[in-house]
Amino acid sequence: MNFSLEGRTYVVMGVANKRSIAWGIARSLHEAGARLIFTYANDRFEQPVKDLAETLEGQNALFYECDVTNDQEVSNTFAKIKQDVGTIHGLAHCIAFANKEDLQGEFVDTSRDGFLLAHNISSYSLVVTAKAAAPLMTEGGGIVTLTYLGGERVVKNYNVMGVAKASLDASMKYLANDLGKHGVRVNAISAGPIRTLSAKGIGDFNSVLKKIEEEAPLRRTITQEEVGDSAYYLLSDLSRGVTGEIIHVDAGYNILG
């Protein structure tokens, strides 16, 4: 079996900068020979994403603006992708957002607006993009989303984002059930903590990383490249029998009691 992604096209959503997990995924897919399509939330990130993609040798990438809170924009984006490339083979969804004030203190204080915002961007966005993207996967395909342990158990400060990730994890499974009959697999990677733009400004992040270094079975944190390679596995035929699964790329931290 040939596991090269030569001749295949993947949409990568959520590159903000070179530290983004989405960028780690883009690099792994590029190295495997895939053609890449990038989407970004608004034009603030257009040039940075284009500059990064330029560094991928021989890559003839395409770029689209796609704010996932806007149904019309999501369906227009995939209509344009269909027009420009026809078939796609997969999608990496690396998008989340919650108000900063909801990522500290107690979950019980979450406002209705903050709760809905976190769920809208971090969970429903997978549903709306899967619906728009799956019809383009005419040769079968894969969808991968990024989740975190805080959706499975209570993790200090993760708060509303943990509840949104629980919703994302369940959405991933229901989507896997709906889309499986069309040859589309849907899976999630639960990544260990990585210092990215989203993690910036989060109090205590250093101590979270230190705890992983001290306690995780591998006694270290993980990298964007390691997440990227697991996404490559999930988006390639290597994982052709796997759907509705959460793979923990977290140096084994989740097995600890």
Catalytic residue among 40, 158, 232, 233: 158
Site for ligand NDP in 207-236 (CB under 6 A): none
Q: Give dist(CA 211, CA 221) in Å, integer.
A: 9
Place of tokens 């975190």: 148
| Known catalytic residue at 233 | no
Is residue 219 a contact partner of residue 209, using CB atoms and an 8 Å limit?
no
Among ligand N5H, ligand NDP, none, residue 69 binds (CB under 5-8 Å by kind): ligand NDP
Q: Which residue in the set 10, 148, 233, 253 belongs to the binding site for ligand N5H (CB under 6 A)?
A: 148
Q: Which of 28, 125, 145, 157 binds ligand N5H (CB under 6 A)?
A: 157
198 binds ligand N5H per the rule CB under 6 A: yes
Tell which residue, 235, 230, 229, has the closest CA to residue 142: 235
Determine if 148 is a binding residue for ligand NDP (CB under 6 A): yes
Question: Please, where are the H alpha helices in the chain?
Answer: 21-31, 46-54, 71-85, 112-119, 125-133, 159-179, 205-215, 224-235
Interhelix angle 224-235/21-31, rounded to 10 degrees, is 50
When the beta carbons of 139 and 204 are compared against ligand NDP, the nearer one is 204
| Active-site residue, 232 included | no
Our finding on whether 46 is near ligand NDP (CB under 6 A) is no
Residues making contact with ligand NDP (CB under 6 A): 14-16, 20-22, 40-41, 45, 67-69, 94-97, 121, 146, 148, 191, 193-194, 196-199
